[in-house]
Amino acid sequence: KLDFIGKLAQRLGAPVREEIVHAVDNVNLTIRHGEVVGLVGESGCGKSTLGRVVAGIMPPSDGQVLWRGRDIASLHGAEAKEAKLRAQMIFQDPMSSLNPRMKVQDIVGEAPQVHGMTTRSGFNDYVDEQLRRAGLDPALKKRYPHQFSGGQRQRIGIARALAVQPEFLVCDESVAALDVSIQAQILNLFMRLRSELNLTYLFISHDLSVVEHLSDRVVIMYLGRVVEQAPSEEIFARANHPYTVSLLSAVPRIEARKRAFTTVQGEIPSPLNPPPGCHFHPRCPHAMERCRVEVPALKEIAPGHLSACHLNG
């Protein structure tokens, strides 16, 4: 059963509010109901753009996002509203997405009230339930965001997302700004919510070690293209693409995976003017003549394991 299928090609370089929208080039991503997909790549690879498109908050300039087999851009009325609420995003910095002048109870309760998910009389209980789910004490609901720690603010953001009863959470670097011990707590919360609420996740991170423990499947992006994807154990045991191999050797706490090069060599080229052929060739220790001219196709090299590298023939 395929619930989210995106066939996307985001065009290059339209500046949006001084922020460059990174190019996503011919990406096909299928996320099954209940699945946790980790999307990994360096800054500028287009993973946030892809996340926004899949979450339905940014339309693709080309391509479509299918939900329950239908293009979300073609939906109207109640169906369009449902499609919009089905996916919620959790961002890196909750402070920038929480209104500093609103009490927590209103941050969490506003949208569900607007959408008729709770009544005026049920409002308090409804808000309390969302806060409890996110691991916050409902007694604190009359406070303002600045009165909370970074980890607690991320929990407020999570409570707000849960309050509209989503089935799909797109988490974009959701723990990147937090201390390591708090990161683990928030990741555990995501996993508990997954089983309690039967949620589906797209978990976006620049850090492979963050997605390792929670993802069923990992998708690796480099400069707007998917270069490898595989079930999580498969990626960590048998990484194929030289870029993935270099990312894995850059994971410091996994000693056994330290290989010949411990960081990804070289600068990341501009995503707006990527190198021809295989985008990774200027940094790849195995680059051949062919790599400079020919784009490697994403090919299945083992069941469910896809890689885009000429070394595979």
β-pair partners for 52:
none
The verdict on 226 binding ligand SF4 (CB under 6 A) reads no
Q: Kindly tell me which of 144 and 261 has the beta carbon lying closer to ligand SF4.
A: 261
Q: Kindly tell me which of 31 and 278 has the beta carbon lying closer to ligand SF4.
A: 278
Amino acid found at 22: H
The verdict on 184 binding ligand SF4 (CB under 6 A) reads no
C-alpha 204/C-alpha 39 separation (Å) is 5
Binding site for Mg ion (CB under 5 A): 48
220 binds, among Mg ion, ligand SF4, none (CB under 5 to 8 A by kind): none
Q: How many residues does the chain have?
A: 313
The verdict on 163 binding ligand SF4 (CB under 6 A) reads no
Amino acid found at 220: I
| Burial group, residue 119, by CB count within 10 angstroms (0-12, 13-18, 19+) | exposed
Q: How far is the CB of 311 from Mg ion (least distance, A)?
A: 29
Q: How many residues bind ligand SF4 (CB under 6 A)?
A: 14
Q: Of 32, 20, 25, whose CA–CA distance to 10 is shortest?
A: 25
48 binds, among ligand SF4, Mg ion, none (CB under 5 to 8 A by kind): Mg ion
Any idea what the Cα angle at residue 11 is, between residues 8 and 13, rounded to 5°? Answer: 140
Q: Give the three-state DSSP class for 138.
A: helix
DSSP string of 160-184, one letter each residue = HHHTT--SEEEEESTTTTS-HHHHH
Q: Give the three-state DSSP class for 204.
A: strand
The verdict on 298 binding ligand SF4 (CB under 6 A) reads no
Q: How far is the CB of 265 from ligand SF4 (least distance, A)?
A: 11
For residues 246 to 285, the per-residue mask of contacts with ligand SF4, x marking binding by CB under 6 A and - elsewhere, is --------------------------------x-xx--x-
The residue with its CB nearest to Mg ion is 48
Q: How far is the CB of 296 from ligand SF4 (least distance, A)?
A: 4
β-pair partners for 71:
66
Q: How far is the CB of 269 from Mg ion (least distance, A)?
A: 17
Q: Footprint of ligand SF4 on this chain (CB under 6 A)?
A: 241-242, 278, 280-281, 284, 286-288, 291, 296, 309-311
